Amino acid sequence: MVTISDVATRAGVGAGTVSRVLNGSPRVSEATRTKVLTTIEELGYRPNPLAQGLSRGRCQTLGVVVPFFTHASAVERLRGVSAALDGSRYDLVLFDVEHPVHRDEFLATLTRRDRADGLIIMSMPPPPADLQRILDGGVPVVLIDAVGDGVPVVRTDDVEGGRLATRHLVALGHQRIAFIGDAPDNPLGFVSSTERERGYREVLEAAGLGVDGQLVRHGSHDREVAHRLTNELLDSIDRPTAVFAASDVQALGVIEAARARGLDVPVDLSVIGFDDIELAVYAGLTTVRQPLAESGALGARLLLEALRGEAAPAADVHELPLELVERSTTAPWTRP
């Protein structure tokens, strides 16, 4: 394994000079620079990232704490992060949270620049104390799809998204509109679904339709669970004519359940989702689109910026736009 001093010896210079060349210091003569550069080439030398990290006090690594495969949307966001990191000198370390203990473990150990130089936390609001400890450790944090104090946040207005979806259904003449989403007290603390539900409730109240508790169902973020919840809804006497699902994944479960019992979507049941994941296009799903990949990319850019400036990033809230995408799973309600 060839080290910096091998290069230095061979080139007839000091290790410091090689380091300066490596790091583009202007205080190197053109002659030595080229000599060092050719020697590096000859020896096939590459700096040891570990040693650089130890010496510099940082490790050229960005951590992403993410409920990885729980949400299809997380994957799309991750793609955005990855794309934004391309060309930067940062490696992407994945901290996959499938369970609250993972999150707590990560949050407890990622408090220093030796594990990750910066952190993106997705969809899980970190406990304020943990967040503060991380920031105190000099690790900048960006939150995506979650809110927290003192750090940049990339988010969408989920309440408004809930309104958009519900208004669409109301405008189509639906009066019995159900909601299927995550439980408000879900273990990882996701709040998006609950906020969308709030928008749903607001619009129903405003439209004078009121909220029927029987039409609001909660379960884990999962196609099959949504399928089951839909069966419950459709079993009732006074069943809904439309369902607003808090995510596309759940909406697909709703459609599946409806079709399984011979109902036509959208004739017998309108379904609207949220996210506009890749699959929504295929399924012809009407949904509220949020720019998932873009949210990841923006989060990564904010983090890189903070890292570049070595300053704490501005704790701005970056709100990404939502947009209703009408496809073919919603239709006007024609009274029986």
Partner DNA sequence: TTGAAAGCGTTACCAC
Partner DNA sequence: GTGGTAACGCTTTCAA
| Cα–Cα dist 307/289, whole Å | 30
Q: Answer whether 123's CB lies under 8 Å from 146's CB.
A: yes
Q: Is 327 in the site for a copy of itself (CB under 8 A)?
A: no
Q: Answer whether 59's CB lies under 8 Å from 65's CB.
A: no
Q: Is 223 in the site for a copy of itself (CB under 8 A)?
A: yes
C-alpha torsion sign, points 93, 99, 102, 103: positive
Which one, of 152, 189, 192, 190, lies nearest residue 299 by Cα? 152
CB 155, min distance to a copy of itself, A = 22
In single-letter form, the type of residue at position 46 comes to R
Q: Is 47 in the site for DNA (CB under 7 A)?
A: yes
H helix intervals, the chain: 4-11, 15-22, 30-43, 49-56, 72-85, 100-109, 128-136, 158-171, 192-206, 223-235, 248-260, 278-283, 292-309
In the complex with DNA, the residue whose CB is nearer, 22 or 324, is 22
Residues in the chain: 336
Residues near 115 by Cβ (< 8 Å), separated by ≥ 6? 59, 61, 63, 93, 109
In single-letter form, the type of residue at position 227 comes to H
SS3 187: coil
CB 84, min distance to a copy of itself, A = 11
Q: Is 305 in the site for a copy of itself (CB under 8 A)?
A: no
Tokens representing residue 309 in the block = 């400036």
CB 63, min distance to DNA, A = 18
Whether the bond into 266 is cis, omega within 30 of 0: yes
Over the window 106 to 145, marking each residue x when it contacts a copy of itself by CB under 8 A and - when it does not, the resulting string is ---x--x-xx------------------------------
Of the candidate residues 8, 252, 292, 302, the single one contacting a copy of itself (CB under 8 A)? 252
Of the candidate residues 17, 39, 61, 193, the single one contacting a copy of itself (CB under 8 A)? 61
**From 47-55, 134-142, 220-228, 307-315, span contacting DNA (CB under 7 A):** 47-55
Q: Is 218 in the site for DNA (CB under 7 A)?
A: no
CA 98 to chain centre: 14
CB 295, min distance to a copy of itself, A = 15
CB 336, min distance to a copy of itself, A = 28
In the complex with DNA, the residue whose CB is nearer, 32 or 175, is 32
| Cα–Cα dist 51/15, whole Å | 14
Over the window 12 to 31, marking each residue x when it contacts DNA by CB under 7 A and - when it does not, the resulting string is xxxxxxxxx-xx--xxxx-x
Q: Is 279 in the site for a copy of itself (CB under 8 A)?
A: yes
CB 34, min distance to DNA, A = 10
How many residues bind a copy of itself, per CB under 8 A?
A: 40
| Cα–Cα dist 33/35, whole Å | 5
CA 149 to chain centre: 18
CB 8, min distance to DNA, A = 7
Q: Is 56 in the site for DNA (CB under 7 A)?
A: yes
Q: Is 1 in the site for DNA (CB under 7 A)?
A: yes
Q: 5-18 in b/e burial notation, b at 16+ Cβ within 10 A?
A: ebbbebbebeeebb
Q: Is 45 in the site for DNA (CB under 7 A)?
A: yes
In the complex with DNA, the residue whose CB is nearer, 57 or 128, is 57
Q: Which residues bind a copy of itself (CB under 8 A)?
A: 1, 46, 48-51, 53-54, 59, 61, 68-69, 75-76, 78-79, 82-83, 86, 91-96, 98, 102, 109, 112, 114-115, 223, 252-253, 256, 278-279, 281-283
Residues that bind DNA (CB under 7 A): 1, 3-5, 12-20, 22-23, 26-29, 31-33, 45-48, 51-52, 54-57
